[in-house]
Amino acid sequence: MADEGPRPPHRSQARDEPRDGAGANRTTELSGTVALVTGASAGIGRHLAQGLAARGAAVAGLARSADRLQTAMDEVAASTGARTLAVPADVTDRTAVESAVARVTAELGPVDLLVNNAGLMDPAEVPVWQADPDEWWRVVESHVRGPLLLVHAVVPGMVERGQGRVIDLGSGLSTRGRDLYSAYSVGKTGLMRLTEVLHAGLAGTGVHAFDLSPGVVETAMSTAMSIHEGRTEWTDPQVVVDLVAAIAAGELDQWSGRFVRAGADELDTLRSVQPEGDARMLRLRRYGDDDPTG
């Protein structure tokens, strides 16, 4: 079905009366926040759009499939009463990203929270030398070029206002290499470094950047991966939502530029810990005290 063109955002209803109970036990209120979530039509992005809206945020969802995205955002609006906006775009297309962000700003307001969630998985489970180079590169681009273009379009406005937060959805595969999923791993490692350099460049601006691994949430992507075959324990998507909401509310700013993992890190612990030095940053391990690269 062809894209029917822009639709107006849904207007909020009473936020203290969620229609389906979503958000009834919310721990972090985000009323007044404008969130932009990429990859919002399915999987983790869909959970995040729902969870942020349930907490009072106005949520713009961005994804390539216009029809599926519109359906998802309509469902979020209907179940939460939040303002939502579906903005179809390919995150690796600079013109499309810039147009999408301009539309979000015009219809919902300046973006307070950017969640870079969209990204592809290796289409074939083969060693890197057997992978199709073009397909491999498309996966890497989705995790590095895509977030870069969103950062380029959104962060200047945040810096101008002196506030805002960027969350890059990382992965445990960003911290280690393995024989399969090489493009995904390389892309997520690049994204982890992008988060760190973004954090460094934002020092003193009031804007913060975070690398958040969602753990292993049960989605169409994760269940198709052979490493998860037979898995019975999955990360509760609500845990991911809670972490994202806490970051959006400014409760974890001391973790800016660092790696946190849903399903392993306890939210209350993250709130209370002040990380120091290069803790939870991507670094080489020294082989000993005399290591010249240490």
φ, ψ dihedrals at 88, nearest 5°: -65, 130
Residue 209 φ then ψ, to 5°: -135, 140
CA-to-CA distance for 37 and 3, rounded, in angstroms? 20
Q: Which of 181, 184, 210, 259 is catalytic?
A: 184
Interatomic CA distance for residues 189 and 119, integer angstroms: 13
Write the single-letter amino acid at 100: A
List the alpha helices (DSSP H) in 202-285: 220-223, 237-248, 267-272
184 is catalytic: yes
CB 22 within 8 A of CB 89: no
Q: Report the distance separating Cα 118 and Cα 104, nearest Å.
A: 17
What tokens were used for 117? Answer: 């969630």
Amino acid at 80: T
Give the residue numbers annotated as catalytic, written as ranges: 184
